[in-house]
Structure 1
Amino acid sequence: MFLWSQRLEPSADRSGVHWGFTSRHGGVSAAPWDGLNLGGHVGDEPVAVEANRVRVAEAVAVPRDHLLFMNQVHGDQVVVVDGPWSGAVPDADAVVTTRTDVALAVLVADCTPVLLLDREAGVAGAVHAGRPGMVAGVVGRAVTTMRELGARRIEAAVGPSVCGRCYEVPAAMRADAARVAPVSATVSWTGTPAIDVAAGVVTQLRGLDVTVHWVPGCTRESADLYSYRRDKVTGRFAGVVRLLPGTGRG
């Protein structure tokens, strides 16, 4: 189920956390979404997607309606979560919370998933950082929002995404990204213009004094992960973070 995950128990002065990135394995979806597809907007059977989401909720020990997904729009909107969604799922590309009874999730199939955490302050976040989000500064907005909630020592887990060698783009698009994150400008396997979004995101995080744990992997090259750029019709995997009771304010 999880390509990478970590569970740290709470202590007297720190919240615990369960965070990780799912793979495409361990679910019930049929081809071409076969496996643990968590995306409800990609043409998969809704009953299969819901069954997969239930499995992830159980893995992080929250009720299904406490596993919270965003309606991701490739922007910079950040939503502060104070409980399970009531009504429509909000448009956002980042969510942050101080609660220990919810798990935050970000869906990807090539974009860069970022999980944020300050165990001492009891604040967590999940960010959808594709190329538009990186350019718009969604990571910085999420970090700022966490600091407004009391976070001071933030660490990030940056999950697998399409690598720069596999993300060929027009030269003008690369130039636009490079104006925001120069390190993101690169070339593809064939020497054409390309963007390394993850490198740009990691540089943005480090510039904000965030400690980064980079989980390696290219979605386009890995059979364990979904990739829109490789397959077009495909599923979505997720980054998931849940604070565990300790000093968190849930």
Structure 2
Amino acid sequence: MLWFSEEVRPGLWVGFTAAAAGNLAFHVGADPLRVAGSRAALDARLTELTGSRSALHLQYMNQVHGREVAVVAEPAAAAGAGCPPRGPTADAMVSRSASLAVMVADCVPVVFAGTGVDGRPVLGVAHAGRPGIEKGVIAATVAELRSAGASALQAWLGPSVCGRCYEVPEGMRAAVSAVEPAAHSTTSWGTPALDLPAAAAAQLAALGVPARQVGACTLEVGALFSHRRAVRDGGAEGRLIGFAAVRP
């Protein structure tokens, strides 16, 4: 079910799902009841991992490839059967109390954990696709985390399309590379490409946030969802998530 998971401290886990966890997005044409069931099964697994005595529910967001950061004040509630839970329209979230999720299928899922002035965790997630790298969603998320009092920040970069596979027009490569030079790449077959994981890592390094890359290429690895592979091969769409789950 999980591609990667790690206990950062007792009761606080970060990780990323594989396709075996099911499609976790309602917006890609999947059966809503099946998506809700996959989300409920993941919540149950995370409740077990964190050692919680009450049910844990991940907070999702309506992602639009921007740089808006939502501050989530309360833990998420259970959603109705087959109904998408309500969430903010944003491409990043920060919270001192909620467990957070970010959906991807080639973009870079970035998960953050830090410690607040009261010793409690401060969590964040960011959706760092090509537009997010250009618009500065990572910097906006780190600024909000620090505004919330987070110190000792660390980040994890999950599965995403790699720089050998993410082919783009030359003009797009030039535009993104002008913002973040580390994004400049070439495919394994010699055409212009973008390296989003390298770009995200470079932006985090410039902000003084240590990052661990724990992903693989979503296009190359069949155990992960990939939008580009689904378009190329005519397969079903799906979304995996990065998460920061804290004991309620």
Q: TM-score range by the shorter chain?
A: 0.7 to 0.9
Q: What's the counterpart of residue 169 of structure 1?
A: 168
Find 2:73's aligned residue among 79, 82, 87.
82
Instruction: Tell me, yes or no, if structure 1 residue 40 matches structure 2 residue 26.
Output: yes
| TM superposition shift of 1:89 | 2.3
Q: What's the counterpart of residue 224 of structure 2?
A: 225
| TM superposition shift of 1:126 | 0.7
Within-5 A mapping of 1:1-250: 1-10=1-10, 16-26=11-21, 36-61=22-47, 63=55, 66-84=57-75, 88-99=86-97, 102-119=98-115, 120=119, 122-232=121-231, 233-244=236-247
Structure 1 unaligned segments of length 5 or more: list them: 11-15, 27-35, 246-250
Query: What is the TM-score normalised by the length of structure 1?
Result: 0.87
Matches of 1:63 and 1:94, distance apart in 2:
23
Contact 1:121 1:152 in 2 (8 A): no
1:200-221, Cα deviation, whole Å (9 max, x unpaired): 0010001101011111300000
* Structure 1 segments of 4+ aligned residues over 4 angstroms from their partners: 84-88
Contact 1:121 1:151 in 2 (8 A): no
Contact 1:108 1:128 in 2 (8 A): yes
1:41-84, Cα deviation, whole Å (9 max, x unpaired): 011100000000001111111646x3111000000000000114
| TM superposition shift of 1:88 | 4.4
User: How many pairs were matched up?
Assistant: 228
Matches of 1:154 and 1:115, distance apart in 2:
10
The secondary structure found in structure 2 opposite 1:74 is coil
Matches of 1:18 and 1:181, distance apart in 2:
30
Matches of 2:247 and 2:205, distance apart in 1:
26
Structure 2 unaligned segments of length 5 or more: list them: 48-53, 78-84
Query: Structure 2: which amino acid aligns with 1:18?
Result: W
| TM superposition shift of 1:95 | 0.3
Query: What is the TM-score normalised by the length of structure 2?
Result: 0.87
| TM superposition shift of 1:90 | 1.6
| TM superposition shift of 1:8 | 3.6
